[in-house]
Structure 1
Amino acid sequence: MPAPRRFPLLLIGAFFALYVVWGSTYLMIRIGVESWPPMLMAGVRFVIAGALLYGFLRWRGAPAPSWPQWRATGAIGFLLLSCGNGGVTLAEHAGVSSGVAALAVATVPLFTLLFGLLFGYRNSRLEWAGILLGLAGIGLLNLGSNLQASPMGAVLILFAAAAWAFGSVWSKRLPLPQGAMAAACEMLWGGAILLLASALSGERMTQAPSAAGWGALIYLILFGSILAFSAYMYLLKHVRPAAATSYAYVNPAVAVLLGIVFAGEQVGVEECLAMAVIIGAVVLIGLPQWRRAPVVPVEGKMCK
């Protein structure tokens, strides 16, 4: 008798972590940079999270990465974490609200398709439509008062999205370690580079972090970096890729709502229109993934 199909609580929890926890990290970054220098906070976050995850994986018997794998994770850690997350942290420190930062980062799938052309990938008409719609959304976003009030923040946030996208595409061609070990090494590299940049730029702690600042850092380490990433890896194994990456159009809505409720952030008409356009573009880009990746039940689990 075949095993019944199940929708385990672990799967529900993984989606919750991906949607809500990752969506909440933008607010936590904003709270954190009120107490910490931005690059210092991001560097400490990733070095500690990477060390904890690396130590846990080695304790569980995962092999140590080879030198070529360390080099590859260094390149991807620099792009994704030092430039990507570091750029987001600097942008929020420069005055970009957490909700608008999350909305700008939602353009990552658009940049991913564009950079994919450099590596020989070809986009469908539906994906091109998503790219054009997303570019229109970026234009609307830059018309809003939030990014106009912080031109440097606007540049940083779009640079961060582009760096994350390029690193994601390039990573498929590099000899990365298997599973979560790649993320652990990338966090170690990315955090170390951010700490070096913090020291070279002259960042200094002028006073002890507040309780909220410490709480934000701990939250980002344990929940934003370790828990949410583990949930993402779990979902990649058990659901369609489009479902696992659907956080790209859920996180902005979560971040905007949390920013309004807990931080008193204001979202203008232009930003609201930009949200609708960008999320629509990401949905268009994701549709071909849903069509190409059927899911079949195997031993009671959902596998791609």
Structure 2
Amino acid sequence: MTIPSASAGSASRPDLCVELALLLALATLWGASYSFIRIGVETIPPLTFIAGRTLIAGTVLLAVIHWRGLSLPRERAVWSRFLVQACLNSVLPFTLIAWAERTVEAGTAAILNATTPIFAFLITLLLTRHEALCLRKTVGVLVGLGGTILVIGVGAVDGIGRDLLAQGAIVFATLCYAGAAIFGRVFKGLDPIMPAAGSLMCGAVLLLPVSLAVDRPWTLMPSWESLLALVSLSVFSTALAFVLYFRLVHTLGAVPTTGQAYLRVPIGVGVGALMLGETLEPTILAGCALVVFGVAAMTIPARRRS
């Protein structure tokens, strides 16, 4: 799990191809997480499932750090940032989405959750201005969202507005994801595995006491399928995915990295079709094309004129 670092804004064309491949890998890992979560929460309560996810993933990364002969930073300021990142990237959004999806349909939740690039774009444009934004990126954000709606199904839009409290919780979770991508820039200079491990361990410390008090995990009887889904989600879609995520925040930037929110929707639909036997609608191919176009517009830099 050694991911070499790269500096943003200085990548050559071959380096850019590597970063785009990693972005696709990240979208695949997080796209598959929908199926893992669906299988896992069948016999494991969402709060305990999320707490186990952060604990297992953080432990895996700590083992990798030890195997590489490294050690986590000890500065209090760095751990304070890890804690903020944990709240923005796992504790708050994971919990809010798990609570909201008790009443919100999956398609509606996926559309709302796919608005992360829009929030990242707006925060960058109006507040931080840490990245150069242009018309091409704006078009990419909007086209990607349109493709996402086509992939999930236009009918899913009909569900928006029916349960405002739960849907508002998903929107706030999405806003947290956008803030996490932008805040993640403060870890520039650290090996990507450090903020990944540190933030996950902080998340586990916050979530485990609540899980013990609310769900009493020792009384549960989870199925082997749910346990396997939990392990797969933790190792691949969390531990490895977080390392890729923190690298891409620095190499591609916050807004392009959040573009994987669009990519993971068609990937998640495809994985669901393979693993869960879900059907694919005819509009999915058109939606996938729009998603790819939108993400390309957000991530591939324009050629400089000599």
Residue-by-residue CA offset, 1:9-31 (whole Å, 9 max, x unaligned): x9999677434332111111111
Distance 2:119 2:239 in 1: 25
Consecutive unaligned residues in structure 2, runs of 5 or more? 1-12
Q: Deviations over 1:95-152 (max 9, x none)?
A: 543x6544443321111111222113463233344555677778x676334x667655
Stretch moving more, 112-121 or 184-193: 112-121
Equivalent residue number for residue 18 of structure 1: 26
**Residue 304 of structure 2 corresponds to residue 291 of structure 1:** no
Query: In 2, Cα distance between the equivalents of 1:81 and 1:293?
Result: 36
CA displacement at 1:224 relative to structure 2: 1.2
Residue deviations 1:48-86 (CA, integer Å, cap 9, x gap) = 211221232134222331211111010011110112333
Structure 2 distance, partners of 1:179, 1:70, is 15
| Equivalence for 1:75 | 84
The 5 A counterparts of 1:50-65 are 50-65=58-73
- Structure 1 residues 259, 42: CA separation in 2 closer, same or farther (over 3 Å shift)? same
The within-5 A match list for 1:1-304 is 17-65=25-73, 66-94=75-103, 96-97=105-106, 101-116=109-124, 117-121=126-130, 123-131=133-141, 143-145=157-159, 153-173=166-186, 177-199=190-212, 202-205=214-217, 207-230=220-243, 247-263=260-276, 276=287, 280=290, 283-284=293-294, 286-287=296-297, 289-292=299-302
AA at the equivalent of 1:123: L
> 2:158 corresponds to which letter in structure 1?
G
Secondary structure, aligned partner of 2:235: helix
Distance of 1:135 and 1:17 partners within structure 2: 20
Conservation of the 8 A alpha-carbon contact between 1:236 and 1:244 = yes
**Percent of paired sites with the same residue:** 27
C-alpha contact 1:91 1:153 (8 A) present in aligned 2? yes
Q: CA deviation at 1:213?
A: 1.0
Mark the runs of 5 or more structure 1 residues left unpaired by the alignment. 295-304
What's the offset of the Cα at 1:41?
0.8
* Contact persistence 1:102–1:255 (CA under 8 A): no
In structure 2, the CA distance between the partners of 1:18 and 1:74, relative to structure 1 (3 Å rule), is same
One-letter amino acid matched to 1:71: S
TM-aligned CA distance change 1:249 to 1:220, over 3 Å = same
Look up the equivalent residue of 1:172 and give its one-letter code. R
User: What is the root-mean-square deviation of aligned Cα atoms in Å?
Assistant: 4.2
Aligned residue type for 2:215: E
> Cα–Cα, structure 1 residues 218 and 159, in superposed 2: closer, same or farther, change >3 Å?
same
CA contact (8 A) 1:50 1:188 kept: yes
TM-score normalised according to structure 1 size: 0.72
Asked if structure 2 preserves the Cα contact closer than 8 Å seen for 1:105 and 1:158, the reply is yes
Q: Is the 2:43–2:223 Cα contact (8 Å) retained in structure 1?
A: yes
CA distance in 1, matches of 2:141, 2:247: 28
Structure 1: which amino acid aligns with 2:95? G
- Which letter does structure 1 place at the counterpart of 2:26? L
Q: Structure 1 15/108 Cα, relative in aligned 2: closer, same or farther at 3 Å?
A: closer
Name the CA distance, whole Å, in 2 between partners of 1:233 and 1:283. 24
Contact 2:43 2:222 in 1 (8 A): yes
Q: 2:80 is matched by which residue type in structure 1?
A: R
- 8 Å Cα contact 1:30-1:92 kept in structure 2: no
Q: Structure 1 residues 68 and 181 mapped into 2: Cα distance closer, same or farther (>3 Å)?
A: same
- State the secondary structure of the residue aligned to 2:300: helix
What is the Cα deviation at residue 215 of structure 1? Answer: 1.1
Verify the 8 A CA contact 1:45 1:217 in the aligned structure 2.
yes
